[in-house]
Chains A and B, each alone.
Chain A
Amino acid sequence: MGFVFLTTGIALTLQAQSIDAIEQKVTEFTLDNGLTVIVIQRNIAPVASFVTHVNVGSVNEEIGKTGLTHVFEHMAFQGSTSIGTTNWEEEQVVLKELDDAYRKWLFENRSSSPDEEKLEELWTEFIRLREKAGEYVVNNEFSQIVEREGAVGLNAFVSADETAFFYSLPQHKTELWFALEADRFSNPVMREFYTEKEVIMEERRDRIDNVPFGRLLEEFISTAFSAFPYKHHPIGWPSDIEAVTIRDAMAFFERHYVPSNITISIAGDVEPEHIRRYAEEYFGSMPAGETPPRVMTVEPPQRGERRFVIEEESQPILLIGYHSVGMNHPDAVVMDLLSGVLFDGRTSRLYRRLVTDEQKALQIGGFNGFPGSRYPGLFLIYAVPNQGVGLDEIEKVVYEELDRIRNGDVATEELDRVRTNARASVLRGLASNQGMALNFAQAQNQRGSWRSIFTDLDEMEMVTVDDLQRVVETYFRKSSRTVGSVQTINNTDSNR
């Protein structure tokens, strides 16, 4: 592996910290059923952070079932066959009846001519069963157990590419994490499913419906992609969230939550051999299962620029997206350098020009890999204009700066600066158990090895001005871009 030596001492400092030093602290193993475990020893305090990373995101959802990944993520906090219930034997019978009742109502409701009377009857029956199922529920028991034991940061997220569950515990309770985590992913129960979907609809209102930027992003991806399932937001379309049922969620779980699709990552004051023992004991019996289905769709080439405007009562925002490459493509690291040169820090090209010099933008930013990066996504550029500045003025400057790079107008010092900051940022990321556990799990599960966090830095050293030029020329074409904006309603033709 080759390092290009910088004139400052930074490369040396960071190099010492890279793979060789880290390697000493990391243990990695895979169980017979295919589940991978990474242990990162860090004894700053007697605590540890635990991450379960699953290679399933909204990109894996089928048409008509958008939002299901996220619905299941919520359900993983509802306990199991033994936690969160007063009587599983009876509860499971009612849950089955409940789901059937909901499906009957749903089918009638979505029929071409729903019978109002019948709908009401079906809904009443559904509500009756929902209340009956509620009688077996020990509310939030899973969360209560772990929080009582000292858990902090209990949460999870779903993105286009992935699902991750995490929390931290005092280190002597490591076994508790294994026992509960294996239980919730071996014996999941779709408890309070229909109430939780209401919570999810509220989450949708919080994040999308009532936030101008959220509305714009959702519209943006559904415009930029024709076929590829990056075209819907991970939260899902409202009608799909309403339509998914318990049996959909269980089928989804069985298909995607198989050991080969899961990486566990633990960072903190823990002993690798203990972790290995617990992993065997608690996760060893999880059946290997079939390899999850792959995403088969490939986004067809875009035939021309796409543009849309949301006219509403909010202040303007601009998004520009170019179809780009996924994280495992050799050009991905060139894209990262490019976004560094253009957008990262006060010395970056577009910050300096739009924010400092011309004072047109309150914010300008951009990065590769939106809404995901496991598959080819977009290189996204976003801008918030200063008061009274037209979006066209900002758009023009962005294209001018891209053209400068297309013409080879980049200094090596600019690339070096981005590389230096990339190294430092990896280094700073090593200062948190939670952050490390998550980053290592993501790299392992999506890139094939946690080492890619460090080898990317080395690949970055190889990138030349020519590479930047080539990448801009190849991907930043008018015909493969989407431009979306929010513009404030202010003239007479807004409704025509």
Chain B
Amino acid sequence: MKYLFFFLLSVLLTACGTTNQVAQRPHENLEFSEPKAFSIPEIERFRYNGITFFLLQYDELPLVNVNVIVNGGAWLNPADKVGLASITGTVLRSGGSVQYPEEELNELLENRAASMETGFGLVTGSAQMNVLIDDFDELLPVFTDLLKNPLFPQERLDLAKTRQRTAISRRNEDASSVASREFQKLIYGENSVYSRIIEYETLENITRDDLIRFHQKTYQGSNMFVGVVGDFNPDMIREQLRKAFDIFDEGVPVQMDLPGVDYEFDEGLFFANKSDMNQSQIRMGHIGGYRDNPDYAALQVMNQILSGGFSGRLMQEVRTRQGLAYSVYGSYGSNVRYPGVFYAGLSTAAENTSEGLKATLEEIRRLQDEPVTQQELDETKERIFNRIIFRYDSYGRILSEHMSNYNLGLPEDAFEQYIEDVHEVTVDDIYRVANKYLQPDQFKILIVGNKSLVEEQLQDLEGAFGSYTEVDISIPRPVSERAAIEGDQEAGREFLEKMADVILDTRQEIDSVEYRGTQQIQTPQGEMALNVHAIAVYPDQLTMDISTPMGSQRLEIADGQGVMKMGGQEQALPEAMVSSLLNELKKEPLYLALHHTGLEAYLLEAGDGENITIYIGGELDLTLNIDKDTYLPAEITYSEFDQSIGNDVSITITFDNWTSGDGVRIPYLQKRYNNGEQASQTLLEEHTIH
């Protein structure tokens, strides 16, 4: 009864500290009987047709569940078809089989309160059938037929894509998932199979043949693990399974050599703006490790000390004592097949961003700065030991853990070994692994929050963690419109040629162009007038002198960097603003005319309207309207992610008052509309070509 001893000790210590101790404490002096004897249910295993089967019989309820695991998942998908595995999982079920296509399958199952579901995750795929025992004999062959002979109808693939596109358009709604997603990218790298996400473009590339091939590769007997749990007939089950799964080919298993991660420890502060928040989502950490690490048990105990239930330090300190978060957590992740992540995170009021971040970091540092007390370690171990029995309170869970461990190649007694190792973990071990595996000075720290509410705190954090990098969470736009109009590229090019002819008198070389004029901007405080003098050196330099009634500023962009100078002070422009300004430069009619031969242009509309509509693809991604009679641009429309509001804005710029000079025509009146609302108007007075 080691536990009881330490527990009494802790009470005594508390009691000694005070003179006026309360009388009876309700949980003291209780005598528990010995834990009830319990034998872990036996799982039978056999192989047939390359498939490994697992059986766990129990007759509490007249139900049977069949679980299938197949190796292979999203990690196998090519970079230009991210989403293939998940779409395959969806359409495998929604399309039905030859015997029971689509709606027929749904009715068959729902009339019997049965379910069949399929899916693919990052590493593996799965399929489940849940039925009442009376339907098992009839539905088992339907299930295997679905898994072996899916229809994959094109219209269900299209539906799955429509739904996935909607999901993409909604992926920035929930800040917590934005933070987790972007943090994964920071750790594993933007293009890693462990962090990449489905984009409109990769989705578009997925074809029915891809689904068929991916399904064939994974649903091979030797690549499958099948578990059955519930009230089946133990005398008949093997024969039933052999018969039903006989239709699969033994085939070859998917080689589970997942790519490694080339991680370099390096600190960094990152920020993503989402303007509808009054809270910040914070994540911090670095790469984690593997399950076969000899320090695995010590790291798990450390995780419990840091963040195990209400008793963990993060909950105790950041939530209960300081009231800085409702949700705060952290864990050193150890995976079997690829490295896990060490992360800690919380959500906290915008005004507490810096404090919450530092309080969480402090708890991680404390693991390294001072050894845990023997008491805290012992209590943590008790927590782990006393709840072991809960591994066995669900037959379904017993079976799925067993199957998963078997597939991962963990020894059958892996859990028992882990528990033995936990017994051996010492105070020194915790101190040692905390210092060996955690590197808080090399954390990547990500904040997703409302810039206007956290700006000052960000500056404060920059003092401690170096200047922050802005993370672009904008959703790359779909390319579907481009694909739909590919046939008209020839005509598009012809009209651009005509446009270039009227803008440029000669095909001269132009290094730069200089403008002078006034600009009226709509601000929340009303209209503001500016005098502007700008020199644009194509394609990537821009100098603007702006004078307002309040004073003058100079903006300079060169070599991808931008600065704003004002009254002897200099301030760097955010990366996002620099790229936005340079992008606008490339959308000017003069620039388009000069570079029209290199543009990907498609004619959309040359019919009845006043204008000819051309779509320009590639990085410009804009729609251009050209006057039918003069061939001069009338307006352009494009979408841009606005960092300040954290959302896409539709921008339209109209061109009027075309004026000739120095051999080129320039629109002297330009109006800019954001989401249909006029944002500014520019009136030029002169232009010069250099």
Contacts and interface: CB of A to CB of B under 8 A. Distances in A.
A46 B35 contact: yes
B379 interface: yes
A222 interface: no
Contacts of A424: 113, 132
Contact of A172 (B32, B169, B275, B310): B32
Contact of A151 (B18, B385, B387, B394): B387
Contact of A17 (B61, B379, B394): B61
B110 A417 contact: yes
Nearest to B390: A152
A86 to B, nearest CB: 5
A198 B324 contact: yes
A46 B111 contact: no
A10 B134 contact: yes
Given A82-B25, A362-B167, A138 B14 contact: yes
Contacts of B278: 205, 209-210
A44 B323 contact: no
Contacts of A17: 61-62
A205 B386 contact: no
Listed from nearest, the 8 A-B pairs whose CB atoms lie closest are A150-B386, A198-B323, A424-B113, A143-B310, A46-B36, A203-B326, A202-B326, A45-B393
A140 interface: yes
A170 B18 CA distance: 33
A144 B166 contact: no
Contacts, number: 253
B21 to A, nearest CB: 7
Contacts of B25: 82-83
Interface in B157-206: 159, 162-163, 165-167, 169-170, 173-176
Interface string B273-292: 00111110000000000000
A13 to B, nearest CB: 5
B650 interface: yes
Given A140-B315, A347-B107, A200 B326 contact: yes
Contacts of A492: 675-677
A19 B327 CA distance: 41
A118 interface: no
Given A13-B133, A431-B60, A77 B646 contact: no
B20 A89 contact: yes
Given A150-B389, A424-B132, A491-B676, A140 B18 contact: no
B166 A386 contact: yes
B38 interface: yes
Interface of B: 7, 14, 17-18, 20-27, 30, 32-36, 38, 58, 60-63, 103, 106-107, 110-113, 130, 132-135, 159, 162-163, 165-167, 169-170, 173-176, 275-279, 308-311, 315-316, 319-327, 347-349, 379, 382-383, 385-387, 389-390, 392-396, 645-647, 650, 675-677
Interface string A449-472: 000000000000000000000000
Nearest to B23: A82
A85 B15 CA distance: 11
Nearest to B319: A199
Interface stretch (A177-185, A256-264, A324-332, A399-407): A177-185
Interface residues of A, number: 98
B111 A202 contact: no
B310 A144 contact: yes
Contacts of B106: 345-347
B320 A140 contact: yes
A86 B61 contact: no
Given A47-B390, A315-B173, A417-B111, A172 B166 contact: no
Given A82-B26, A170-B35, A202-B324, 9 more contacts: A10-B132, A83-B27, A148-B7, A170-B389, A198-B324, A201-B349, A202-B325, A362-B163, A431-B60
13 contacts: A148-B379, A196-B320, A196-B323, A210-B279, A211-B173, A212-B173, A346-B110, A347-B103, A423-B113, A427-B63, A430-B60, A431-B61, A431-B63
A16 B61 CA distance: 11
Given A154-B310, A199-B319, A148 B167 contact: no
Nearest to B396: A431
A305 interface: no
Given A81-B22, A315-B169, A205 B349 contact: yes
A130 to B, nearest CB: 10
B113 A421 contact: yes
A277 B279 CA distance: 49
A233 to B, nearest CB: 15
Contacts of B23: 82
Contacts of A10: 112-113, 132, 134-135
Interface string A193-224: 00111111111011001111000000000000
Contact of B27 (A90, A179, A314): A179
Q: Which of A45, A89, A145, A386 has the most CB of B within 10 A?
A: A45
B383 A313 contact: no
Interface in A140-159: 140, 143-145, 147-152, 154
Given A8-B112, A205-B347, A150 B387 contact: yes
A230 to B, nearest CB: 24
A105 B319 CA distance: 24
A9 interface: yes
A421 B114 CA distance: 8
A425 B166 CA distance: 30
B173 A9 contact: no
A144 B390 CA distance: 18
A26 interface: no
Contact of B348 (A77, A80, A172, A202): A202
Interface string A476-495: 00000000000001111000
B321 A139 contact: yes
A158 B211 CA distance: 45
A269 interface: yes
Contacts of B327: 202, 206
A271 to B, nearest CB: 11
B158 to A, nearest CB: 8
A9 B309 contact: no
Contacts of A46: 35-36, 38, 389
A77 B310 contact: yes
A303 interface: no
A347 B134 contact: no
A45 B62 contact: no
Contacts of B18: 86-87
A386 B30 contact: no
A345 B110 contact: yes
Interface in A411-430: 413, 416-417, 420-421, 423-425, 427-428, 430
A205 B279 contact: yes
Given A82-B25, A211-B174, A147 B319 contact: no
Nearest to A192: B320
Interface in A332-382: 345-347, 352, 356, 359, 362
A45 B38 contact: yes
Contacts of B389: 45-47, 150, 170
A164 to B, nearest CB: 17
Contacts of B61: 17, 427-428, 430-431
A140 B349 contact: no
Contacts of A144: 310-311, 379
A402 B24 CA distance: 62
Given A170-B386, A431-B60, A206 B276 contact: no
Nearest to B19: A87
A138 B320 CA distance: 11
A430 B231 CA distance: 14
A210 B113 contact: no
A148 B58 CA distance: 31
A432 B110 contact: no
A492 B652 CA distance: 13
A171 interface: yes
B268 to A, nearest CB: 25
Contact of A489 (B22, B132, B393, B675): B675
